[in-house]
């Protein structure tokens, strides 16, 4: 088995009997070594002392007095956020349980970077036996913002942070410039486009997030993404589904849809209401999927035998920010008695 996503922290956790990830002291310590928390040369003695206590025992109680003793108020606030997050993880016991509870209960304010890290770790667990680099690259959409460029019939997706970094350092002026590089094959520019033929390059670069993916309907990207959707739903909801890319929604009895991001939610809501989309909104739809439940008893009675339509869309500025939690809270699941 090839190793991938070492940055996810999979080595810091343990799998439970049901396949979820047990919150461990080592996982908690990792959060206390983040740059926002780890002491620097200018840190005060109280900050150093608190850090050492947490590293020795990441479950130690931290009082308001401990935080008030820190000279830098911004650092104290960062500690307060991380301690609240730690307590949330410990309270739920597993990474998956803690993640799901955030959206079920709505009682904890979690920084987006922590949510992305949880999804990264959960997917590393879900996909631990996957050896298809295209599927792993498609899974990055779940936890990393993407930049989308539509050029010459392609739907090219690249990591937004990497695109921004290369743009700032002069690597290129944006993904569009990459694609339009005159006379330069894609494999020779800063971001390689991952295909089935060159997919082996992913293994050494999985933590660099520097490969692009053609997400056209005719390319492997959407199908690989569909397999990740199936695995995500199975892992959390313990039910099997079939997800297939489609070019259009053809359904006279359209009953349910789920946007996989905020933009897709708005567009699908408009289509469901019978509104006409502008040409610009039509172009922003990147992919559509049909989801069918394998077990009819998993679905609320009036949705049995009916598909759920899914969509991905980019923002007007070409960004794609997926919300995987929508698949946990918005599907028409039967109420458990």
Three-class HEC string of the chain: CCCCCHHHCHHHCEECCCCCEECCHHHHHHHHCCCCCCCCCCCCHHHHHHHHHHHHCCCCCCCHHHHHCCCCHHHHHHHHHHHHHHHHHHHHCEHHHHHHHHHHHCCCCCCHHHHHHHHHHHHHHHCCCCCCHHHHHHHHHHCCCEEEEEECCEEEEEEHHHHHHHHHCCCCCCHHHHHCCCCCCHHHCCCEEECCCCHHHHHHHCCCCCEEEECCCCCHHHHHHHHHHHHHHHHHHCCCEEEEEECCCCCCCCCCEEECEHHHHHHHHHHHCCCCCCHHHHHHEEEEEEEEECCHHHECHHHCCCCEEEEEECCCCCEECECCCHHHHCCCECCCC
Q: Is the pLDDT of residue 49 over 50?
A: yes
Buried-exposed string 180-190: b where 16+ CB fall within 10 A, e elsewhere: eeeeeebeebb
Q: Is the pLDDT of residue 189 over 50?
A: no
Most confident of the following: 79-88, 157-166, 186-195: 79-88
Residues 249 and 318 grouped into a single domain: yes
Instruction: Please count the structural domains in the chain.
Output: 3
Whether 119 and 205 share a structural domain:
no
Whether 190 and 238 share a structural domain: no
335 assigned to some structural domain: no
Whether residue 80 is found in the same domain as residue 110 = yes
Give me the domain span that covers residue 308: 220-329
Q: Are 204 and 283 part of one and the same domain?
A: no
The reply to whether 237 and 146 lie within a common domain is no
Q: What is the reported pLDDT for 179? A: 42
Compute the chain's Rg from CA coordinates: 22
Single pTM value for the model: 0.92
Residues 253 and 179 in one domain: no
Residue 31 placed within a domain = yes
Of 166, 182, 214, the position where a domain reaches its end is 214
Examine the domain organization and report whether 18 and 102 are in the same domain: yes
Any domain includes 337: no
Tell me, yes or no, whether 229 lies in a domain: yes
Note whether 30 and 62 are same-domain residues. Answer: yes
Tell me the C-alpha distance between 31 and 25, whole Å: 10
Q: Residue 32: what pLDDT?
A: 94
* pLDDT for the residue 75: 94
Tokens representing 275 are 């509104």
Same-domain status, 11 and 119: yes
Last residue of a domain, one of 110, 126, 142: 126
Asked if residue 311 belongs to a domain, the reply is yes
CA gap 215, 150 in Å, rounded = 10
Which of 141, 150, 143, 96 is CA-nearest to residue 120?
Answer: 143
Single out the residue in 184, 214, 244 at which a domain terminates. 214
Tokens coding 103: 């959206």
| Rounded Cα gap, residues 219 and 228, in angstroms | 16
Q: Encoding tokens for residue 249?
A: 């929604």
Residue 109 pLDDT? 80
Is 336 a member of any domain? no
Task: Compute φ and ψ for 315, nearest 5 degrees.
Answer: -75, 165
pLDDT of residue 38: 94
Residues 309, 238 share a domain: yes
Do the domain assignments include residue 334?
no
- Look at residue 229 and tell me whether its pLDDT is greater than 60: yes
pLDDT of residue 107: 63
Q: What's the chain's average pLDDT?
A: 91
pLDDT value, residue 165: 83
By the 8 A CB rule, do 146 and 160 touch? yes
Question: Does residue 1 form part of some domain?
Answer: no
In angstroms, rounded to a whole number, what is the distance separating the alpha carbons of residues 107 and 91? 13
Residues 192 and 284 in one domain: no
Neighbours of 118 (CB within 10 A): 23
């Amino acid at each position: 088995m090839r190793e991938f996503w070492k940055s996810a922290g999979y080595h810091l956790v343990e799998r439970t009997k049901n396949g979820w990830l047990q919150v461990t002291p080592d996982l908690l310590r990792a959060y206390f070594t983040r740059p926002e928390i780890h002491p620097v040369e200018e840190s005060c003695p109280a900050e150093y002392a608190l850090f050492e206590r947490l590293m020795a025992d990441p479950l130690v109680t931290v009082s308001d007095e401990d935080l008030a003793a820190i000279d830098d108020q911004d650092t104290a606030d960062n500690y307060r956020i991380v301690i609240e997050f730690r307590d949330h993880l410990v309270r739920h016991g597993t990474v998956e349980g803690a993640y799901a509870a955030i959206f079920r209960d709505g009682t904890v304010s979690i920084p987006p970077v922590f949510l992305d890290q949880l999804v990264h770790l959960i997917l590393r667990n879900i996909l631990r036996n996957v050896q298809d680099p295209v599927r792993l690259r498609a899974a990055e959409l779940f936890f990393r913002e993407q930049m989308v460029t539509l050029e010459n019939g392609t739907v090219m997706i690249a990591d937004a942070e990497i695109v921004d970094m290369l743009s700032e350092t002069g690597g290129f002026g944006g993904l569009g410039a990459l694609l339009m590089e005159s006379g330069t094959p894609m494999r020779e520019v800063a971001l390689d486009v991952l295909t089935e033929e060159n997919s082996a390059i992913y293994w050494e670069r999985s933590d660099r997030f520097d490969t692009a993916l053609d997400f056209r309907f005719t390319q492997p990207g959407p199908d690989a993404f569909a397999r990740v959707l199936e695995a995500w739903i199975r892992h959390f909801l313990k039910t099997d589904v079939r997800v297939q890319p489609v070019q259009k929604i053809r359904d006279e009895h359209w009953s349910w849809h789920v946007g996989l991001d905020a933009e897709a939610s708005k567009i699908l809501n408009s289509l469901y209401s019978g509104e006409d989309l502008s040409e610009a909104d039509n172009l922003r739809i990147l992919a559509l999927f049909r989801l069918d439940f394998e077990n009819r008893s998993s679905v609320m009675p009036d949705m049995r035998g009916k598909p759920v339509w899914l969509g991905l869309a980019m923002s007007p500025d070409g960004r794609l920010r997926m919300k995987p939690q929508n698949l946990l809270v918005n599907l028409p699941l039967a109420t458990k008695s």
